């Protein structure tokens, strides 16, 4: 029985690697963007895993950026599956409008994923790019869980870039890139499932932003 389960598991993993992994790591991204340098790439210079996902939006970059810059828990949310995120206590409520108070971020600010987990803003180019890195515990939060004690010793370096590219025909591309640099030999066992879950959430986020920008 155990051998049969192990065999089924191997087949599933092999099928994912052969048929799904490459596709989900590049979902929606045109060939010219897959390996194009983007803001924030230098933060994890020799990345072991890179996911670049994108969506075409029929609106200029100036109309996309306000939705991007207000990302975050306690702000505009992530325009994804709020119900799933809230099952683990994220308290996410994705905005349906642009809020002036959420339109400003500076280097050093924190963008929360959860009331006790945040990423640090390391680069902001208004109208074009927002780059976040690393998990850090929110000031005053308990040092427990993935963003608390041990967050600084996470087994991988991480950067998360949101880039809005203006297209020549009046539309734009919204590109999301994740870069992971492994610090331990076993880190891939953790990051691979994380990247798969991230695809599901990012796919929904990109479509959610597009729907809001295009008024659908």
pLDDT digits (tens, 9 = 90+) for 124-137: 999 999 999 985 55
**92 has pLDDT over 60:** yes
CB 131, CB 121: distance < 8 Å: yes
Interatomic CA distance for residues 180 and 37, integer angstroms: 15
Interatomic CA distance for residues 33 and 19, integer angstroms: 21
Q: 20-24, 35-39, 145-149, 206-210: which has the minimum mean pLDDT? A: 145-149
Give residue 154's pLDDT band: very low, low, confident or very high (50, 70, 90).
confident
Instruction: Calculate what percentage of the chain has a pLDDT beyond 90.
Output: 80
Interatomic CA distance for residues 91 and 99, integer angstroms: 18
Strand partners, 156: 182
**29 has pLDDT over 80:** yes
**Measuring CA to CA, how many Å separate 94 from each of 56, 138, 164, 184?**
21, 20, 20, 35
Query: What per-residue confidence (pLDDT) applies to 143?
Result: 37
Dihedral pair phi/psi, residue 193, rounded to 5°: -65, -35
Interatomic CA distance for residues 171 and 134, integer angstroms: 31
Tell me the average pLDDT across 144-157: 56
Strand partners, 55: 174
State whether CATH 3.30.530.20 applies to domain 26-213.
yes
The pTM of the full predicted model, rounded to 2 decimals, is: 0.85
């Amino acid at each position: 029985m155990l051998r049969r389960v192990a065999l089924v598991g191997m087949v599933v993993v092999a099928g994912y690697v052969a048929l799904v992994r490459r596709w989900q790591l590049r979902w929606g991204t045109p060939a010219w963007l897959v390996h194009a340098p983007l803001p924030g790439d230098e933060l994890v210079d020799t990345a072991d895993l890179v996911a670049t996902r994108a969506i075409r939006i029929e609106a200029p970059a100036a109309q996309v950026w306000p939705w991007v810059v207000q990302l975050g828990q306690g702000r505009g949310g992530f325009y994804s599956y709020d119900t799933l995120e809230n099952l683990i206590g994220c308290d996410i409520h994705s905005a349906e409008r642009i809020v002036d108070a959420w339109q400003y971020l500076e280097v050093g600010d924190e963008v929360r994923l959860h009331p006790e987990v945040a990423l640090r803003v390391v680069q902001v180019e208004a109208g074009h790019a927002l780059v976040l890195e690393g998990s850090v515990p929110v000031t005053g939060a308990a040092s427990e869980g993935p963003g608390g004690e041990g967050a600084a010793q996470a087994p991988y370096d991480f950067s998360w870039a949101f880039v809005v590219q203006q297209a020549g025909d009046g539309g734009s591309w919204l590109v999301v890139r994740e870069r992971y640099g492994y610090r331990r030999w076993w880190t891939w066992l953790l990051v691979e499932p994380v990247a798969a879950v991230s695809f599901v959430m990012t796919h929904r986020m990109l479509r959610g932003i597009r729907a809001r920008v295009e008024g659908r």
